Amino acid sequence: MASFLPTSDETLEDLRRYTEERLVDVACLDCLARVRVKKNSEHQTSVQWNAEARADCQEFQRRGQTPGGRDVHRPCARLMASIDDAVRAGAVPIGAYDGY
C-alpha cells in the first residue's frame, strides 16, 4: 500500500491543522475515558481516540467480548452524550475555521 509523507512546510502545516487544531479534550461522564473532539458543524463530530481511552471505555470493553467483536464505526453512546453535554455547555465550539 502506498503512503504519502508530506515534505513541504505548507503541507505539513495543513496536516497539523487538520489533525490537531481546535481539538478539545472531553471526558466521558460515565467511565471518564478522555478523547479529543472537534465539531465543524451541528451534524459533524470528529473524535480522536487513543489506546488509553479505548481501554477505559466500558461500553467498548463489553462489545469487544461479544461474538464478532467491537464495530469500530459504531460510537460509544455514553461518550456521545458526554460530547453533546460539552457542546451545550460551550466547551466544544461548533464551526470550521479556514476549512478546519
Residue 74's alpha-carbon distances to 12, 59, 69, 88, 97, in angstroms, are 30, 11, 12, 22, 27
From 5-9, 30-34, 58-62, the region with the lowest mean pLDDT? 5-9
Residue 39 in any domain: the answer is yes
Tell me which residue range forms the domain holding 80: 24-88
13 falls within a domain: no
pTM over 0.75: yes
Q: Establish if 31 belongs to a structural domain.
A: yes
Q: What's the number of domains the chain is made of?
A: 1
Q: How far apart are CA 4 and CA 26, in angstroms?
A: 30
pLDDT tens-digit profile of 44-89? 999 999 989 988 998 888 877 666 665 666 788 999 999 999 999 9
On average, the pLDDT of the chain sits at: 84
Q: How many CB atoms lie within 10 A of CB 30?
A: 15
Q: Which amino acid is at 35?
A: V
**How far is it, in rounded angstroms, from Cα 32 to Cα 87?**
17
